[in-house]
């Protein structure tokens, strides 16, 4: 499932694909991809890509006065194909002046595209409510504590709350907590300053790792067939912890599966 690193790589890749190119037309298959509006404004997109922003898991692309918001959902991704090459699960298409086509590919249809005026992109409800973005806004331990430190939520659930902290999902919340040695079931307000510092560092390390792993033309998801799991703790229930060899455990937390090491991530508070 795409999180901040995957969406950031998608943004960088789109900038590279559109560089020196013109968008000559768009095409859209009638699906729920445009469920927050209609596909009609999408047809107005033309010309060069003038700006590409990302906030949390949202992409915002501008083509002059017209723009679009894209959310990758669970399986969405952008892929570029040669002229005449069909792409399975293509829900929307950007045809370049070279004849090449950038497809929005989304097998499970949880992704979304909303075309609107460029000036309105930052005011869209999903974008406007987002909390602090670790890459766009920066994130030190004081800012992290301000964002989630007063909540009574479990620590991992708080990290995944996009209105508090934008971009972290199930994978990188679990990875950051493992790197920081913090149990996902701790209450956010129970952390010491030492633990907040460790967690802020761990979030940046996890995101940096995610960006390095995805630095290619086409993003890959760990859930896709044939893709190896590169993560330290996510998806490793029942296997030996990579630090201490204790068996990794999992449980349901906030409706999602949480992976953790019972030895490395003790519930005890660090001074």
Catalytic residues: 2-3, 57, 256
Encode 46-69: b = buried (16+ Cβ within 10 Å), e = exposed.
eeebeebbbbbbbbbbbbeebbbb
Q: State the Cα–Cα distance between residues 158 and 184, nearest whole angstrom.
A: 10
DSSP string, 162-195: TTTBSS--HHHHHHHHHHHT--TTSBGGG--HHH
DSSP per residue over 46-59, as a string? -B---EEEEETTEE
CB-facing half-sphere around the CA of 127: CA atoms within 13 A? 19
The rounded distance, in Å, linking the Cα atoms of 224 and 245 is: 27
Q: In the chain, where does DSSP find H-type helix? A: 4-18, 125-128, 141-148, 155-159, 170-180, 193-213
């Amino acid at each position: 499932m795409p999180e901040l690193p995957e969406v950031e790589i998608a943004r960088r890749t789109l900038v590279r694909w559109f560089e020196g190119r013109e968008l000559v037309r768009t095409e859209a298959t009638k699906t729920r991809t445009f469920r927050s509006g209609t596909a009609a404004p999408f047809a107005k997109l033309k010309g060069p890509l003038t700006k590409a922003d990302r906030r949390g898991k949202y992409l915002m692309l501008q083509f002059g006065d017209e723009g679009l918001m894209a959310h990758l959902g669970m399986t969405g991704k952008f892929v570029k194909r040669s002229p005449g090459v069909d792409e399975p699960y293509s829900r929307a298409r950007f045809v370049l002046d070279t004849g090449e086509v950038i497809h929005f590919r989304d097998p499970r249809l949880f992704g979304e595209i909303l075309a609107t005026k460029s000036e309105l992109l930052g005011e869209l409800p999903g974008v406007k409510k987002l909390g602090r973005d670790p890459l766009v806004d920066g994130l030190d331990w004081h800012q992290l504590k301000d964002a989630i430190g007063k909540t009574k939520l479990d620590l991992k659930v708080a990290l995944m709350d996009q209105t508090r902290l934008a971009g972290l999902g199930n994978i990188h919340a679990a990875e950051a907590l493992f790197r920081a040695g913090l149990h996902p079931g701790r209450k956010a307000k129970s952390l010491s300053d030492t633990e907040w510092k460790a967690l802020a560092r761990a979030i940046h390390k996890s995101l940096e790792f995610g960006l390095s792993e995805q630095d290619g033309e086409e993003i890959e998801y760990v859930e896709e067939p044939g893709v190896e799991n590169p993560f330290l703790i996510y998806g490793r229930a029942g296997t030996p912890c990579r630090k201490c060899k204790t068996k990794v455990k999992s449980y349901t937390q906030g409706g999602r599966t949480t992976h953790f090491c019972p030895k490395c991530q003790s519930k005890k508070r660090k001074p």
